[in-house]
DNA sequence: CTGAAAGCGCTTACAG
DNA sequence: CTGAAAGCGCTTACAG
C-alpha cells in the first residue's frame, strides 16, 4: 500500500494524493474527502523513510543520556531526570517530533556524531551527570544542533547551544530568607562543587540573604552535590561544637546526608536543626521528616529546551527563552527557632 | 557526501564501496583499506533513510510508555521502571537497534499503530501501569511485533507476545520462609489486586510456605499494589487487636504504607513487627529502617525482552526465554521473633 | 573481484 | 484544479 495504490483506488494521479497529504488547498473538497476516506480504510500512512530521504529532515530529536563510567550507572538514581525525560518526549511529540534515546559514555562522542551524520536525527539534547563540554564541542564544530538540559554540565556557554536557565541565586536566597523568617540566625550552608556554577550561584544567594538581614556570621562548608558532603558537614560541625540551628543544603542529596548524620547523632530535625534542600527530588517526600526544599520546574525547563531546538531545526526566529524560578515547597524539616 | 562521492574519490564503482560497507569478502584488501580510509577522512556514514527505504527494515524498536489518565502521570513514580528503560536501551543498542520512545494514552492505540504503519519501527515494547490488553490486541491483529515488560498488564497470554516471566510464587515463598526461619509464626500477607496474576502467585507462595512449615494460621488482607493498602491493613489488624509479628507485603509500596501506619501507631519495625517487601524499588534503601525485600532482576528481564523481539524481527529461531527469580535482599526491617 | 541498471516510496519543481 | 518526470541515497539482483 503506497501513495500510488491510493491514487489508483481514487482514480486520480499520485500528485493529487500528495496534495491531500500536504493539506494543500488546491484539491476539490469532494476529491479530498474521497481520498481521505480511502486512506483511512486502507490504514495508509506515508512511509517515513521515503519522506525523510527526500525532505532531508527526520523529524526526530536525539536524547543522549551520557554516563560517566567513573560515576554511578545511568538511571540508578534518576530521581531527578526521569520526569525531565517524560517532559521532553511529550513536548517533542506535541511539535511533531519523535525522540530517539541513546545512552553513551562521556569519553566517546562517536556514536552520537554517527546519529547526526547518518541522518537519524535533526538535533540532539543531552542529559548527563558530568561535564560534557567536549561532547558538545565536537557536535557543534561538526555543525549540528544540540541542546543541554543542565547548565552545570558545561564549562562555557555557547550562544547556539540552548540551555534552560534556572535562577539559582534567587532560589537560594528564597530558601535562606525562609529560615531567617523562622527566626534563625545561625544559618549554615553546605555548598556544591566549587567549580560548579550553580553551586556558586546558590552560595551567593545565601550570602546575599544573610547580608540583607544583617546577619554577619556566615558558616560555609565547602562540599559537593552528594549525600556524603552533607554527612561530613554535620559531623564537622558537631566535632567543632559549632552546629548551626539551620542549614541550607545546596541540593537534596546533601540534605539527605545531613539528615542521616543528625539522626545518628540523636538530634532531631526540625526541633534541633532545620534543614532545607534544593531540587525537590521525589525522595524528599519520603524521608522522615519530609524535606522542605526548593522546587525546580523541570517539566517546563525541559519543554523550553525542546522548543528552542525545534526553532533551530525549523529556522524559526529564535524567541528569547524565559528564565526559570525555584519555588519553596514547605514540608516538615524546618521549624521556628525556639 | 554520499556513496557516489566516496566511489569517485577512491576511483572505483559505487558497488565496490557498497561491498566494503557490507563487509563483503570479495574486495581486494588494498582497495578495501583505501576506501575505508577515505570514508573515515570524510566522516561518511550511509544515509539511514535511504537504506531503510530499500531494506524495509528500520533497525529501531519502539518503546511505548503507556499512561492511564485515571492513574498517576508518567514517570512521576517510576522508581521501578527507570532502570528497566535504561536496560532496554542498552540491550537494543548492543543488538544494533535504536530505541524510539513515545508516551501514549491507554485509550488510544492510534499513535502506536501509526509508528508501525509508517515504518518508523520494526517492533515495539510496552511499559505500563495498567492493563494494555486492548492495545496489544490491536497491534497483534494488525500483524506487528510487540512485547511486554510486565506480565500483569495483560489479561491473557498470547504466544507471539514475548513477556519476561518472574517466578512470583517462588519469590513469595522465599520471603515467607525467611520470616519463618526468623522464628515467626504469626505471619500475615497483604495482597495485590485480586485479578492480578502476580498478586495471586505471590499469595500462593505465601500459603505454600506456611503449609510446608505446618503453620495452620493464615492471615490474609486483600489489598492492592499501593501504599494505601499497607496502611489500611495495619490499621485493620490493630483495631482487631490481631497484629501479626511479621508481614509479607506483596510489593514495596504496600510495605511503605504498612511502615507508615506502624510508625504512627508507635510500633517499631522490626522490633515489634517484621516487614518484608517485594520488587526492591530504589526507595527501599532510604526508608527507616531500610526495607528487606525481594529483588526482581529487572535489568536482565528487560534485556531478555529485547532479545526476544530482535529474534522475531530477524526471523531467528526463537530460543525459549529463561524464567527469572526474585532474590532476598536483607536489610533492616526484619528481626528474629523475641 | 567489479560494473550498470532498476527500484524502494516519497517530494519537488515544472507544465498545463 | 491535475499530471508526468526527475531525483533523494541507498540496495539488490544480474552480468561479466
| Residue B108, pLDDT score | 92
Nine-digit cell string for A280: 525537590
Output phi, psi for A310, to 5 deg.
Answer: -60, -40
Q: Which of residues 275-304 of B touch A (CB under 8 A)?
A: 282-283, 286-288
| Residue A12, pLDDT score | 83
Is residue B85 within 8 angstroms of chain A, CB to CB? yes
Residue from B45, B47, B49 whose CB has the most chain A CBs within 10 Å, to mutate: B49
**Inter-chain CB proximity B117 and A44 less than 8 Å:** yes
Report how far residue A130's alpha carbon sits from residue A132's, in angstroms, rounded to the nearest whole number.
Answer: 6
Confidence of residue A307 (pLDDT cuts 50, 70, 90): very high
**Residue B224 contacts by C-beta under 8 Å, 6 or more apart in sequence?**
B192, B193
| Residue B75, pLDDT score | 42
Share of chain A above pLDDT 70, in %: 97
Is residue B77 within 8 angstroms of chain A, CB to CB? yes
| Residue A71, pLDDT score | 64
| Residue B1, pLDDT score | 75
Report how far residue A193's alpha carbon sits from residue B268's, in angstroms, rounded to the nearest whole number.
Answer: 38
| Residue A264, pLDDT score | 92
Residue A332 is given by DSSP the state S
Whether B72 has a pLDDT exceeding 70, the answer reads no
| Cα angle: B166, vertex B125, B160; to 5 degrees | 70
Please name every residue paired with B331 in a beta bridge, in sequence order, or none if there are none: none
CA of B159 to C1' of D2 (A): 49
Whether B222 has a pLDDT exceeding 90, the answer reads yes
Report how far residue A201's alpha carbon sits from residue A67's, in angstroms, rounded to the nearest whole number.
Answer: 25
**d(CA B174, nearest CA chain A) in Å:** 26
**Comparing C-alpha atoms, which of B294, B283, B278 is closest to residue B327?**
B294
CA of A89 to C1' of C14 (A): 40
Residue with more model confidence, B263 or B29: B263
Q: How many CB atoms neighbour CB B256 within 10 A? A: 23
CB under 8 Å, gap of 24 or more: what pairs does A214-220 form?
A215/A180, A215/A185, A215/A187, A217/A185, A217/A186, A218/A189, A219/A186, A219/A187, A219/A188, A219/A189, A219/A244, A220/A188, A220/A189, A220/A191
Nucleotide nearest to A27 (CA to C1'): D1
Domains defined for chain A, CATH in brackets: 3-46 (1.10.260.40), 60-163 (3.40.50.2300), 168-296 (3.40.50.2300)
Whether B74 has a pLDDT exceeding 50, the answer reads no
Share of chain A above pLDDT 90, in %: 70
B167-185: average pLDDT: 98
| Residue A72, pLDDT score | 55
Q: Which residue has the cell 513536548?
A: A91
| Residue A74, pLDDT score | 41
Q: Which residues touch strand D (CB under 7 A)?
A: A 12-16, 19, 25-29, 31, 50, 53-54, 56; B 2-4, 14-15, 18, 21-22, 44, 46-47, 50-51, 53-55
Nearest protein residue, CA measured to C1' of C7: B54
CB under 8 Å, gap of 24 or more: what pairs does A9-17 form?
A9/A38, A9/A42, A10/A34, A10/A35, A10/A38
B9-38: average pLDDT: 81
| Residue A2, pLDDT score | 83
| Residue A76, pLDDT score | 47
Top-confidence range, A122-126, A157-161, A191-195, B126-130:
A122-126
CA of B144 to C1' of C5 (A): 34
Which stretch of DSSP H or E encloses residue A55? helix A48-55
Confidence of residue B78 (pLDDT cuts 50, 70, 90): low
Is residue A221 within 8 angstroms of chain B, CB to CB? no
SS3 A60: strand
For the ranges A73-82, A236-245, A266-275, B156-165, the lowest mean pLDDT is seen at: A73-82
Q: Is the dihedral of CA B26, B27, B33, B36 positive or negative?
A: negative
Confidence of residue A153 (pLDDT cuts 50, 70, 90): confident
CA of A50 to C1' of D8 (A): 8
**Inter-chain CB proximity A119 and B93 less than 8 Å:** no
Whether B73 has a pLDDT exceeding 60, the answer reads no
Confidence of residue B76 (pLDDT cuts 50, 70, 90): very low
Q: Which of residues 164-203 of A touch B (CB under 8 A)?
A: none
Is residue B64 within 8 angstroms of chain A, CB to CB? no
Q: Tell me the average pLDDT of chain B.
A: 91
Q: In what side-by-side order are the strands of the sheet with A187-190? A: A219-221, A187-190, A246-249, A274-276
Confidence of residue A79 (pLDDT cuts 50, 70, 90): low
Report how far residue B206's alpha carbon sits from residue B246's, in angstroms, rounded to the nearest whole number.
Answer: 12
Residue B272 in contact with residue B262, Cβ under 8 Å?
yes
Report how far residue B92's alpha carbon sits from residue B89's, in angstroms, rounded to the nearest whole number.
Answer: 5
Distances (CA, A) of A282 to A295, A327, B78, B217, B276: 10, 15, 10, 39, 23
B250-266: average pLDDT: 95
Which nucleotides of strand D are protein-proximal, with an atom < 7 A from a CB? 1-5, 7-13
CA of B137 to C1' of C6 (A): 39
pLDDT tens sequence across B270-317: 999 999 999 998 788 888 899 999 999 999 999 999 999 999 999 988
Residue B197 in contact with residue B230, Cβ under 8 Å?
no
Q: Which residues touch strand C (CB under 7 A)?
A: A 2-4, 14-15, 18, 21-22, 46-47, 50-51, 53-55; B 12-16, 19, 25-29, 31, 50, 53-54, 56
B92-114: average pLDDT: 94
Q: Tell me the average pLDDT of chain A.
A: 91
Confidence of residue B2 (pLDDT cuts 50, 70, 90): confident
Nine-digit cell string for A21: 497529504
B308-335: average pLDDT: 95
Whether A78 has a pLDDT exceeding 90, the answer reads no
A104-129: average pLDDT: 94
Q: Which residue has the cell 499512561?
A: B67
The β-bridge relationship of strands B323-324 and B165-166 is: parallel
Whether A337 has a pLDDT exceeding 90, the answer reads yes
Whether A322 has a pLDDT exceeding 80, the answer reads yes
B102-106: average pLDDT: 92
Amino acid at each position: 500500500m503506497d501513495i500510488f495504490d491510493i491514487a489508483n483506488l481514487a482514480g486520480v494521479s499520485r500528485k493529487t494524493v500528495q496534495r491531500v497529504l500536504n493539506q494543500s488547498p488546491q484539491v476539490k473538497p469532494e476529491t479530498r474527502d474521497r481520498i481521505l476516506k480511502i486512506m483511512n480504510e486502507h490504514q495508509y500512512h506515508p512511509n517515513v523513510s521515503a519522506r525523510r530521504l527526500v525532505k532531508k529532515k527526520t523529524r526526530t530529536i536525539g536524547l543522549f543520556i551520557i554516563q560517566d563510567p567513573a560515576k554511578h550507572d545511568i538511571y540508578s538514581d534518576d530521581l531527578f531526570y526521569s520526569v525531565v525525560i517524560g517532559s521532553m518526549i511529550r513536548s517533542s511529540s506535541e511539535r511533531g517530533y519523535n525522540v530517539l534515546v541513546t545512552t553513551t559514555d562521556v569519553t566517546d562522542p562517536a556514536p552520537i556524531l554517527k546519529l547526526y551524520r547518518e541522518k537519524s536525527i535533526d538535533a540532539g539534547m543531552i542529559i548527563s551527570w558530568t561535564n560534557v563540554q567536549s561532547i558538545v564541542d565536537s557536535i557543534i564544530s561538526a555543525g549540528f544542533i544540540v541542546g543541554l538540559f543542565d547548565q552545570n554540565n558545561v564549562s562555557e556557554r555557547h550562544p547556539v547551544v540552548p540551555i534552560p536557565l534556572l535562577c539559582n541565586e534567587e532560589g537560594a536566597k528564597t530558601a535562606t530568607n525562609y529560615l531567617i523568617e523562622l527566626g534563625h540566625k545561625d544559618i549554615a550552608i553546605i555548598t556544591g562543587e566549587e567549580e560548579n556554577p550553580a553551586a556558586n550561584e546558590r552560595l551567593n544567594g545565601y550570602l546575599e540573604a544573610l547580608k540583607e538581614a544583617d546577619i554577619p556570621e556566615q558558616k560555609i562548608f565547602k562540599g559537593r552535590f552528594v549525600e556524603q558532603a552533607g554527612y561530613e558537614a554535620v559531623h564537622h560541625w558537631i566535632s567543632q561544637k559549632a552546629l548551626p540551628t539551620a542549614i541550607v543544603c545546596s541540593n537534596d542529596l546533601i540534605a539527605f546526608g545531613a539528615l542521616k548524620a543528625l539522626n545518628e547523632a540523636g538530634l532531631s530535625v526540625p526541633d534541633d536543626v532545620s534543614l532545607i534542600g534544593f531540587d525537590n527530588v521525589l525522595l524528599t517526600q519520603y524521608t522522615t521528616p519530609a524535606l522542605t526544599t526548593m522546587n525546580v520546574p523541570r517539566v517546563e525547563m525541559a519543554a523550553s529546551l525542546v522548543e528552542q531546538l525545534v526553532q533551530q531545526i525549523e529556522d524559526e526566529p529564535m524567541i528569547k527563552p524565559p528564565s526559570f524560578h525555584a519555588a519553596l515547597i514547605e514540608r516538615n524539616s524546618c521549624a521556628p527557632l525556639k
